[in-house]
Amino acid sequence: MEIRHLVTFIAIVELGGFTKAANHLGYAQSTITSHIKALETELGRPIFDRIGKQVILTEVGKKLMPHAKKMLEIYDGIKEVTSMEGEISGHITITIAEYLLLYRFPPIFEEFKRKYPHVSIEWHHVDPLTFREELSNGSTDLVFILGKQVKNSNIYCETIVEEQMMFLYPNDFNINNQLDLKKSSLLVTNKGCSYRTLLEQFVEKSNIGIQSSIEFWSIESVKQSIISGLGVSILPRITVEKELRDHKLIGETYEETLFTFMLYPRNKWLSPAVTEFVHIVRKNAQFW
């Protein structure tokens, strides 16, 4: 079973079609078709059903997918082993919380790229509902997430830093006025986000009865909305230090802290590139 055939198979599945896979891989359409025919001949079964212009995985195709990814992972590992005595190269995929990418990781990224310019990095936004699956199926190498400790026998979970959380509100807001709080909107990020959970728990415990909430796609949009007087929120202190210094909003240290964790599969071989990235993260985190 040729590696290039598996690469084509995975590209078709992930990109959603033969034409998109051909454009992405730089192959002619006929080459893509021949790769899939070769796989199907070797397996003795079709791996795609062709329904009109759609291609849908058969049961055999569904079973092949995780094995194909694993074979590519092994192949990439072999390639990196053969180059270990030379310059480290390759590709790593990192799934990370937005606040870390913006406020913690720029120096880490700069140092890593300076030392290992031939390693490409692909960044994914962390989804609290799917990151475990991404680790288990090999679609990401490392996950950095804020929250509570992840308990999973197949995932190594390392505490990186304890993050102080801030309850944030507009400058003209009276935090001691229950009516002001009740009339406020909760400014939240996506479902499953740890600081959204803290905010919802705060409202529930305080029995204030805030019913209005506005969901945002980024920390920056939450901050600007607090400054504009739209409502209140809870965010990591590091994300609002400048705004607090500039008196653009007001914050109080929240009673509960969260932790940033680094996660990777417990039984997976870590490539030299991933190992070096982990080392740089640990070194920088000592000063956070």
Could you tell me the CA-to-CA distances from 72 to 3, 5, 43 in Å, in that order? 7, 11, 18
Q: What is the pLDDT of residue 82?
A: 53
Statement: residue 142 has pLDDT above 70: yes
- Judged by average pLDDT, the poorest of 89-103, 118-132, 179-193, 252-266 is 179-193
Q: Where are the beta strands (DSSP E) in 97-249?
A: 119-125, 142-147, 155-163, 165-169, 185-188, 213-215, 231-236
Query: Could you read off the pLDDT of 208-248 as tens digits, one per residue?
Result: 666 678 888 888 999 999 999 888 899 999 999 999 999 99
List of residues 6+ apart from 219 with CB closer than 8 A: 98, 99, 102, 189, 235, 239
Q: Which residue has the higher pLDDT, 62 or 138?
A: 62
Q: Contact, 8 vs 37, CB < 8 A?
A: no
Mean predicted lDDT score pLDDT of the chain: 85
Q: Which residue has the higher pLDDT, 70 or 250?
A: 250
Query: Could you read off the pLDDT of 96-108 as tens digits, one per residue?
Result: 988 899 999 999 9
Query: Could you read off the pLDDT of 190-204 as tens digits, one per residue?
Result: 777 888 888 888 777
Q: What is the pLDDT of residue 165?
A: 93
Query: Could you read off the pLDDT of 64-90 as tens digits, one per residue?
Result: 888 888 887 777 766 665 555 557 888
Which of 22-26, 53-57, 274-278 reaches the highest mean pLDDT?
274-278
- Residue 159: band (very low, low, confident or very high) from pLDDT cuts 50, 70, 90: very high
b/e map 263-280, b = 16+ CB within 10 Å = bbbeebebbbbbebbbeb
Statement: residue 36 has pLDDT above 80: yes
Statement: residue 170 has pLDDT above 60: yes
Q: What is the pLDDT of residue 240?
A: 94
Q: What is the pLDDT of residue 129?
A: 78
Q: What pTM, to 2 d.p., does this model score?
A: 0.67
Q: What is the pLDDT of residue 180?
A: 62
